[in-house]
Structure 1
Amino acid sequence: MSSTLGTGASTEMELGADVIEASRVNGTRVYNTDGDNLGHIHDIVIGKRDGRVRYAIMSFGGFLGIGEDYHPLPWEVLKYDERQGGYVVGITIDQLKEAPRYGATAQPDWLDPAYGRRINDYYGVAYY
């Protein structure tokens, strides 16, 4: 892997196919398996102790940031698709409308294990 970090010339970095900077994940489009654009990655949630990405927070709906809902998606349900230049999740728009979510003015309780279990149960993924 080559890097220009530390040279002062640039903060650009050539990364391998299996790694990406968190700043580049934000804004990446999310599609379902039918190719429908569901939204984009708004943020990611990382375990403090183990450093594992737990959830991608997907922005869904709204217009110019108004009326958006945020859907925590377990990282394991997302697959990157090179052709689409985005992540793909096996969920329909109707299923997404029923999925766990929160509004722009709400803050989820990441410290509550029941909250994480509810998200993971909805997507059929084991809780940590």
Structure 2
Amino acid sequence: MADLLPENQSDLIASDRVEGTLVFNPAGEKLGRISNFMVDKRSGQVRYAVLSFGGFLGLGHDHYPLPWSMLHYDVAMGGYVVELDRGALDDAPGHASDQRPRFDEDYGRAVHGYYGLIYPW
């Protein structure tokens, strides 16, 4: 039988535990929560964490894909930290909660380019 470690002591986390995790900026301001993440079907690599932001009483949230490489887990905060302020999300590539963009190469380039990153695929 395998030795069992508490999840917070492992480098791995179950997908259902990532969804709902808070996202903060370096100043500790809450930006939103991870609503889901996008996984490459062939490689199994997580490409984007989709940040849920805004809305009222769970309605009207906008969703912003953040390249996974931008997020860093902070144990003390109990969430992910990303180098953004709220204002950066105003013009960021995103979509309404009832929509899904085509996560194709053009969209990937737009998302990565917005955050000053090189699209690696």
TM-score (norm 1): 0.86
Offset at residue 97 of structure 1 (A) = 1.4
Counterpart of 1:124 (choices 112, 116, 120) is: 116
Cross-structure match for 1:66: 59
The separation in 1 between residues aligned to 2:67 and 2:22, in whole angstroms, is: 16
Counterpart of 1:94 (choices 87, 91, 109) is: 87
Offset at residue 63 of structure 1 (A) = 1.6
Counterpart of 1:113 (choices 62, 83, 105) is: 105
The separation in 2 between residues aligned to 1:81 and 1:17, in whole angstroms, is: 14
Cross-structure match for 1:2: 3
User: Gaps spanning 5+ residues in structure 2: where?
Assistant: none
**How many positions carry a matched residue from both structures?**
118
Asked if the contact 1:32–1:92 (Cα under 8 Å) also holds between the matched residues in 2, the reply is yes
Structure 1 vs Structure 2 CA RMSD:
1.4
1:53 aligns with 2:46: yes
Percentage of matched positions with identical amino acids = 44
User: Gaps spanning 5+ residues in structure 1: where?
Assistant: 4-12
Cross-structure match for 2:16: 23
Deviation track 1:68-114 (CA, whole Å, cap 9, x = no partner) reads 0000000000000011000000011111111111001211101x211
> Residue 41 of structure 2 aligns to a residue in which SS?
coil
Asked if the contact 1:74–1:120 (Cα under 8 Å) also holds between the matched residues in 2, the reply is yes
Partner amino acid, structure 2, of 1:23: D
Partner amino acid, structure 2, of 1:100: P
Asked if the contact 1:32–1:90 (Cα under 8 Å) also holds between the matched residues in 2, the reply is yes
Asked if the contact 1:55–1:74 (Cα under 8 Å) also holds between the matched residues in 2, the reply is yes
Larger Rg: 1
Deviation track 1:38-89 (CA, whole Å, cap 9, x = no partner) reads 0000001000000000000010000222110000000000000011000000
Find runs of 4+ consecutive structure 1 residues off by over 2 angstroms.
13-17
Deviation track 1:10-39 (CA, whole Å, cap 9, x = no partner) reads xxx744431111110000000011110000
